[in-house]
Every structure is written in C-alpha cells, then in structure tokens.
C-alpha cells in the first residue's frame, strides 16, 4: 500500500508535494534571531520537503556548538542567519564549519555586506553557501541547490522510488522560487549567473578552463613531449584599470543589467590587483563584479571550482581570507592581453 503524500501550505498557495510521509526527509536546523524571518524560513523549508529539527535564535546554536554537539544531530542541513557578528559568533561558525565538513552536512549562512569578510573568513572547510541580504526567493533557491548538490554516493544508496522523489522535490523547490520571484516583482536579483539555473549542481560549472594551444610548443618535430612556452608578463595594471573604468562608464547611459558580466569584471579586477601586488577581499570582489553580492558569491564559487580563482588565507590574521587568480587563470589573462597587442589601449 502506498504511503499518503504530505501536504504543506505555502505563502502563495497550497502546494501538493509527492513526498511519502517519513520517507527520505533531509533534516534541517534553522537559527535566526529575527522571529519573523525564522518563521518564514521554517515555512519554506517544510514546504520544500525538509524534516524540521532544531530551530531558534542564534544563541541556541552558540550554546550547542562549544559543548561538542555533533552537526549531524542538527540535521543534514543547517540554515543560519547572522547579519551582525561578534567574536563568539565567528568562533561558533568556524567550529560548525569544520564539523559540517567532516559530517558531510550542508551549511547555508546569510549575512550582511558589512559582515561578509568576517563570515567568509570563518567558512573555509564545508563549502558553505553564503547569502548576502538575500530575498526570500534566494533563500529558497539555496535550499534547492542543497537538494541538487547531494553527494553522488548518497544518491546511489537510494532506491529508485527515492531518487524520483528527490528529483520531484528539487523541481518543486524551483517552482516555489519562481513564484516567490514573481511575487517580489521584476528586477529582483535571483543570484543566478547568466544562463544558469538555480538548481544547477555545483559539479556542473559554467566554466571550463582549457589552456590555449599557443601555451605549448613541441620540443622537436614528431615528438610527443610538450614544453610550456615562456609565460608572458601580466599587463600594465593602468591599462586594466582603464578598461574597468570604461566598462563602468556604460552604466551612466544605459541600464547596468544590459552589460552584466560578473565573471569578466572579476577577472579584470583580480588581474590588475595581481599586477599591483595587492590583495582583494571577498567584499571588494563582490563590489567589482557589478552584480548583487549573493549573485557574485555564486559566480565566485563556480569560478573557484573551475580552477580560475582560489582562496588565500591571511598569514597575519587567520580570521581573514582573500581571493586571487590561480596560476592558470593568471597565465590565461596574460596571454589574452598579449593577443590584444599594442592596440589594446585604443580598444577602450
């Protein structure tokens, strides 16, 4: 006999989820100091098919983590809202990040632009999703990404029926996000990169890095041995900064969304910084992207997975971290500007 489906009420309409009672529910714990927001997060998580575990103010989480509470006791997903942070909050986030990484749990942490650098510095182990002043739809999308990015090993352990249930839940979370998006009106940033889907798995990166053929030369005719060509120097940072200024100037005359290209804007900014021997914080990089911070963070995540960007810890302060180009990305940018040639300055 098939088990009855569970029906959840959403803020926009009653939605029927084909989710068998007591079957495959991912546990989720929610911590937020703002009671109305916590209630909203609970409502959306339950509507998405998660099994609600602990939920309460952030102080409950702070009290639980130092005493050795295992992350798995909180559930497979931990949703935390910390728009303002202090030393105790950051220490707790760091501990739960480490434990989540060991347990394979997923963290979704929302914060403010003012606290972004501190929060980013604490979350370096678990691959946490960081949201900056997110809309309700962005939070729902983040839950959908958790479902879509479940470890393959776990998915293989599921029965065929369970896998179909998981796919239906993922699709329904996307529908919830779209409806919430429409309710919020046009122009609301959803935090999705160009051409991307809110439910794309983290493995399906939008970027594919391949070394250009010119990066290699044959050692001799007919030999399979390849020797890397001499790496060209990085471009003059003044030229790169001029290109950036010219790109930003367009927003004075046209809608900025027409030219949104966060990946390229971040690559340009990081190229200039590398040539200037300066470091770039996560907040500065988000600003340089020209898109909302949550959107920028998703692009940064994809570019990191693609081997274009990397995180660099601050040697003098372990609580801080910066973002830089990888060696491969740096070389690719250098070769790009070489190909532009001496006429590059006239192109801007």
Q: Given this model, what pLDDT does residue 214 score?
A: 46
Where b means 16+ CB within 10 Å and e means fewer, 274-311 reads bbeeeebbbbbbbebbbbbbbbbbbbbbbbbbbebbee
First to last CA, the chain: 69
Contacts of residue 131, Cβ cutoff 8 Å, sequence gap at least 6: 108, 109, 110, 111, 138, 139, 142, 191, 294, 297
pTM of the entire predicted model: 0.70
CATH architecture for the domain at 5-183? 3-Layer(aba) Sandwich (3.40)
List the one residue out of 133, 107, 115, 144 whose CA is nearest residue 30: 107
Q: Give me the residue spans of the domains in the chain.
A: 5-183, 215-347
Q: Give the 3-state secondary structure of residue 19.
A: strand
* pLDDT for residue 96 is more than 60: yes
- 230 band by pLDDT with thresholds 50, 70 and 90: confident
Neighbours of 22 (CB within 10 A): 9
pLDDT digits (tens, 9 = 90+) for 53-83: 888 999 887 776 544 455 556 778 999 999 9
What whole-number percentage of the chain has pLDDT above 70? Answer: 65
Distance CA 235, CA 272 (A): 8
190-206 residue pLDDT tens: 333 333 333 343 344 44
Above pLDDT 90, what percent of the chain? Answer: 39
Q: 307: phi > 0 → left, psi -120 to 50 → alpha, else beta; which?
A: left
pLDDT tens digit string along 35-54? 999 999 999 999 888 889 88
Mean local confidence (pLDDT), 141-155: 69
For the sheet with 77-81, list strands across it.
Answer: 51-56, 27-32, 77-81, 106-111, 129-132
- The answer, yes or no, to whether residue 12 has pLDDT greater than 80, is no
Residue 273 has pLDDT above 60, yes or no: yes
Level-2 CATH architecture, domain 215-347:
Orthogonal Bundle (1.10)
Say if 5-183 and 215-347 have the same CATH topology. no
Mean residue pLDDT of the chain comes to: 76
CB atoms within 10 A of CB 240: 25
Determine how β-strand 309-313 pairs with β-strand 321-325. antiparallel
């Amino acid at each position: 006999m098939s088990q009855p489906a569970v029906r959840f009420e959403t803020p926009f309409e009653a939605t029927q989820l084909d989710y068998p009672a007591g079957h495959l529910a991912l546990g989720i714990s929610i911590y937020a100091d703002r009671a109305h927001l916590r209630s909203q997060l609970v409502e959306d998580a339950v509507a998405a098919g998660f099994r609600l575990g602990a939920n309460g103010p952030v102080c409950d989480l702070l009290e639980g983590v130092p005493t050795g509470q295992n992350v798995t006791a909180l559930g497979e997903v931990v949703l935390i809202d910390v728009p303002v942070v202090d030393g105790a909050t950051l220490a707790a986030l760091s501990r739960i990040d480490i434990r989540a990484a060991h347990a394979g749990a997923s963290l979704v942490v929302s914060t403010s632009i003012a606290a972004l650098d501190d929060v980013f510095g604490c979350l370096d182990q678990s691959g946490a999703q960081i949201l900056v002043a997110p809309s309700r739809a962005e939070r729902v999308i983040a839950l959908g990404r958790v479902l879509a990015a479940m470890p393959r090993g776990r998915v293989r352990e599921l029965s065929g029926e369970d896998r179909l249930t998981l796919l239906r839940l993922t699709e329904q979370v996307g529908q919830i996000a779209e409806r919430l998006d429409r309710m919020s009106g046009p122009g609301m940033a959803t935090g999705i990169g160009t051409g991307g889907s809110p439910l794309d798995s983290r493995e399906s990166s939008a970027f594919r890095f391949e070394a250009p053929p010119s990066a290699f030369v044959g050692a001799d005719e007919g030999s399979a041995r390849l020797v890397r060509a001499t790496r060209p120097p990085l471009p003059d940072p003044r030229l790169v900064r001029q290109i950036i200024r010219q790109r930003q100037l367009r927003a004075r005359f046209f809608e900025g969304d027409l030219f949104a290209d966060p990946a390229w804007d971040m690559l340009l900014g990081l190229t200039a910084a590398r040539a200037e021997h300066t470091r770039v914080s996560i907040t500065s990089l988000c600003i340089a992207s020209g898109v909302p911070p949550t959107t920028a963070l998703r692009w940064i995540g994809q570019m990191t997975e693609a081997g274009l960007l990397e995180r660099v810890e601050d040697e003098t302060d372990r609580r801080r971290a910066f973002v830089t180009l990888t060696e491969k990305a740096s070389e690719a940018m250098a070769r790009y500007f070489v190909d532009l040639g001496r006429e590059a300055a006239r192109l801007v």
